[in-house]
A and B are shown apart, each in its own frame.
Chain A
Amino acid sequence: MNPALVAARAIHFGASMLVFGEWVFVAFVAGVAWRRAFAASTRTAGLDRHAFVFATAALAASALSGIAWVVLEAMQMAGVPIAQAVANGTVFVVLEKTEFGHLFAWRALLWLALAASLVALRVKPSSRARIGVALLGAGAYLATLAAAGHAAAASDGSVRAMHVGADALHLLAAGGWLGALPPLVYCLMHAPSAQAAARVARRFSVLGIVCVAILIASGIVNSLFLVGSFAALFGTAYGQLLVVKLALFAVMLALAATNRLRLTPRLAADNSSLRSLARNARLELAGGIAIVAIVGALGTMVPGAHRSPRWPFDYALDFTLGDLSAAALALLIACAVFALAAVALIITGMRRSALRLSIPGCIALVVLAAVSTSIFAVPAFPTTFATSPVPYTVDTVSQGAASFAKDCSGCHGADARGDGPLAATLPKKPANLAEHALHHPEGNLFWWIAHGIAETPMPAFSPQIGDDGIWKIVQYLVARASAEAATSIGPRVDTASMSRAPDFGYEIAGEGQRTLAGDRTPALIVLYTLPQSDARLSQLASDHRLVHGKVRVIAIPLPGSPPLPDDAALRAQVEPAIPTIYATFVRAADDRTALHAELLVDANGIVRARWLGVPTNGVDRDAQIVAAAQHLPAHSSMPASMHHGH
């Protein structure tokens, strides 16, 4: 993390918000009549002048921090020191050639327009049209920052539009709230009468409620995109910083709620609430500044959704409602009902400023939350949500298989079915991993292998086997269980299939190398034995329906079969490990390996349909394959390991 860049970003965000919030306050909170009365009755210079001075200062700060941001970004992009970035024109390359640079060039124009509109407004402060223009300009200046963030990089157009849109709303709502706090404090401190103060305070809290609602909704959308899961929220640096931000936000909300529910109603009667109100607004502002500093840092970090999370708790929540018992469901509903009552109690308590109501309400809410969450709790480990740093390929699977044969098969059996020669001597039966492996998160398999299972014969293998070595064993277990799952897959598309095909590279003469996963299209893996498969292979080579159906055909000889001759159309060169691993995917239910089999693999690498043996006379298998291919799910950027799991 580059502290100068974080600071430049934070100042730029904060300053852009202040400019916008100032005019939101002038336009929506302090109306023209209010401002006139205010100016006439106070000895200060009046809100119009305050707003102008404040907004001008913020605009200047945003210009300086914006320039610093562009220069720092140029240094980082080109990987050069500052002198070089400025002297040899890297900054101009950034402005001219990158999306970030284009955005900032446009924002510089917006900045000029905004500055002009501020001057115009200063000349005629009561013009609604001029306030509107300044508000619009400041809004555009702030909202365009959304395109400078992580949101802008989504490769999918509609995802990008949604994410940038949510981000822009988030910025506007934050600016409308935070940026309006300084003029609010100013008005409260200098208000001519308690009634006048009460009026702005009331109007401000309406603005606050609208902004908070937008902040929450757009914030949820943003974190779905950037964090994606509770695992990433609690288990990555990005997520944890976001938790801090949310905590600050909660404190600000509590302050705002006190202002709204407790202090504002009392204003007219009691002048001391005015000071508390102003103090709370200042505290809100301090919280807001801390949040903006965090935002400055978050934008430079790798979002949680892209990091392998380290889970900090002993339990995780598994919200699969299907697994809940009727009793648990009843308990959940009861909790929801009591929670509503508790919320009512808290609100009443705040209104009447009766702590004897709100404190028990809060306690009840926390207890109910704990009870209802514990229903969903399952044990978890630091690596439960980790994603494997080792890819799922034939290569890693065969290396994992070699380790398994050496270190595990004695207990778990050569085929990982829990029936090794030592199994009978053990006080506890080794698990049938060929069945279980797909039903546990991969991170749990990793943890059990690395650290063993307490009070069972399952030993710990870390550090004798390094982390990568253990992940390779996990990949082998996934392949082993996938092969086992494939035995129940037939010629009809299996929409619930969890059987994952390990990735591999193959070469077809003249076409260079391709990989199973890289093409992101469905593939028919034909595992053949010559000469039994001869007729079927020549049928496949001459039938263009599969090509038109966008199904690649990859022909692989099973172990023991010679490969196709060099000049055969379907001839593909593959590494010897591929037939060995894939032979395990073509076993029948009685464990016998077929001599010929065809696997239809979707664009995400999941085995969806399977044919054993060559087609019998009169069966048009290619028609079946083309029909099945129509029903395959499209490529998704979700890793295949997330298509199933807890």
Chain B
Amino acid sequence: MKFGHPAVALVGACAWFASAPAAAHAFLDHAIPAVGSTVHESPQSIRLWFTEQLEPAFSHVQVVDASGKEIDKGDSHVDASDASVLAVGVPALAPGKYRVQWRVVSVDTHVTEGDFTFEIKP
């Protein structure tokens, strides 16, 4: 759909409003270890920060190694002091590539999921 003239874009001569911090689906904001990063020491836990608060009963994360075997401590939980943080403990990890897989439900009921990798290289 294309239109020739700007007039079609008129919604009153109000100012271009800035994007406000809005809610909706929980998207991954950032993680430690960072998405796609290489670290030198094994982390003790994997932490994921989301763009909004999560439902603890339906939000989970797991870590698998290169062969697809789950290697985390199975204690995936939403942080008690910050409901937008999801974390899981890991044992001392050997050098190699790992994949973090998450599926979360935001407090307004929307489901999002995704995954990313990180690598340990001493």
Contacts and interface: CB of A to CB of B under 8 A. Distances in A.
A217 B18 CA distance: 18
B9 A315 contact: yes
B101 interface: no
Main secondary structure of the interface of B (DSSP, over half): loop
Contact of B108 (A152, A305, A319, A637): A152
B113 to A, nearest CB: 9
22 contacts: A73-B109, A76-B109, A100-B109, A152-B23, A153-B52, A155-B23, A159-B20, A224-B20, A225-B20, A228-B20, A302-B24, A302-B25, A306-B24, A306-B25, A312-B2, A315-B5, A372-B13, A373-B6, A374-B7, A377-B6, A517-B30, A638-B21
Nearest to B13: A372
Interface stretch (B38-46, B69-77, B91-99): B38-46
A366 B56 CA distance: 52
Given A100-B109, A312-B2, A513-B33, A507 B39 contact: yes
B62 interface: no
Interface stretch (A25-33, A229-237, A272-280, A579-587): A229-237
A153 B55 contact: no
B32 A154 contact: no
Nearest to A396: B36
A318 B16 contact: yes
Contact of B109 (A77, A225, A517): A77
Given A233-B11, A314-B4, A505-B37, A638 B30 contact: no
A481 to B, nearest CB: 22
B19 A642 contact: yes
Interface stretch (A91-99, A204-212, A471-479, A530-538): A91-99
B19 A305 contact: yes
Contacts of A79: 103, 111
Contacts of A305: 19-20, 22, 24
Given A97-B56, A229-B16, A230-B11, 15 more contacts: A77-B105, A97-B57, A152-B107, A154-B21, A159-B20, A163-B23, A225-B23, A226-B22, A305-B20, A313-B8, A332-B13, A373-B13, A374-B6, A512-B44, A513-B34
Contacts of B58: 77-78, 98
A507 B41 contact: yes
The 6 closest A-B pairs by CB, nearest first: A370-B7, A153-B23, A377-B6, A315-B6, A153-B108, A97-B57
Given A100-B108, A228-B22, A575-B38, A370 B5 contact: yes
Contacts of A509: 41
Given A76-B109, A93-B57, A515-B34, A229 B7 contact: no
A507 B108 contact: no
A614 B107 CA distance: 50
Given A505-B39, A518-B32, A370 B19 contact: no
A329 to B, nearest CB: 12
Contacts of A228: 17-20, 22
Q: Which of B3, B23, B25 has the most CB of A within 10 A?
A: B23
Interface string A450-494: 000000000000000000000000000000000000000000000
A631 interface: no
Given A373-B6, A505-B39, A513-B39, A518 B22 contact: no
Interface in A41-77: 73, 76-77
Contacts of A373: 6-7, 9-10, 13
A573 interface: yes
B5 A374 contact: yes
Nearest to B9: A313
B80 interface: no
Nearest to A5: B109
A87 to B, nearest CB: 18
Contact of B55 (A77, A302, A317): A77
A249 interface: no
A107 interface: no
A183 interface: no
A629 B5 CA distance: 47
A199 interface: no
Given A225-B20, A230-B16, A303-B24, A507 B40 contact: yes
Given A224-B20, A505-B34, A515-B30, A76 B111 contact: yes
A318 B6 CA distance: 11
A625 to B, nearest CB: 25
A302 B27 CA distance: 11
Contacts of B9: 230, 234, 313, 315-317, 373
A11 to B, nearest CB: 17
A375 to B, nearest CB: 9
Given A152-B23, A225-B22, A315-B6, A518 B17 contact: no
Nearest to B12: A369
A391 B21 CA distance: 19
Contact of A150 (B11, B41, B84, B108): B108
Nearest to A97: B57
B23 A160 contact: yes
A510 to B, nearest CB: 9
Contacts of A303: 22-24
B66 interface: no
Contacts of B105: 77, 98
A395 B39 CA distance: 14
A207 B107 CA distance: 35
A203 interface: no
B41 to A, nearest CB: 7
Nearest to B50: A155
Contacts of B11: 230, 233
Contacts of A352: none
Contact of A518 (B13, B49, B109): B49
B6 A376 contact: yes
B7 A150 contact: no
B32 A638 contact: no
A148 interface: yes
A225 B52 CA distance: 14
